[in-house]
């Protein structure tokens, strides 16, 4: 199944985004948050999805990481062309869970 990000929209809450993703023919909506944290005296950005995001991408960490990277780009005011194709979602176990 193909993974495609349809939209990434900022909300009124700083660092929070509504993300719409198409996995195969099923549309999913997630809330994602980008936060800055200090690790070893360096500031790093961490992007997390809601529980639904974690469940849908439980068996596809590469897809989850790719989505987080695009959300972080939007947060950092970089240009992202949407819709964005992210590749395939292969796992049969995941496919049956999403249908």
pLDDT in tens, 70-94: 999 999 999 999 999 998 876 555 4
pLDDT at residue 1, rounded to an integer: 84
pLDDT at 5 exceeding the cut of 80: yes
Q: Cα-flanking dihedrals φ and ψ of residue 49, to 5°?
A: -105, 165
Q: How far is CA 49 from the centre of its chain?
A: 7
Cα 23 to Cα 71: distance, rounded to the nearest angstrom:
17
Two tokens at 27?
């549309």
Which domains does the chain show, CATH number per domain? 2-98 (3.30.310)
Model pLDDT for residues 9-31, shown as the tens digit of each residue: 999 999 999 999 999 999 999 99
pLDDT at 99: 52
CB atoms under 10 Å from CB of 94, counted, come to 18
> Taking residues 1-14, what's their average pLDDT?
95
Mean pLDDT value across the chain = 90
């Amino acid at each position: 199944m193909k993974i495609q990000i349809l939209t990434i929209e900022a909300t009124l809450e700083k660092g929070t985004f509504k993300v719409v993703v198409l996995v195969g023919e099923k549309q999913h909506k997630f809330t994602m948050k980008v936060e800055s944290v200090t690790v070893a005296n360096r500031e790093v950005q961490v992007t997390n999805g809601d529980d639904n995001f974690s469940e849908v991408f439980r068996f596809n960490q590469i897809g989850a990481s790719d989505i987080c990277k695009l959300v972080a780009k939007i947060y950092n005011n970089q240009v992202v062309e949407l819709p964005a194709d992210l590749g395939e979602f292969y796992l049969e176990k995941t496919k049956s869970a999403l249908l």
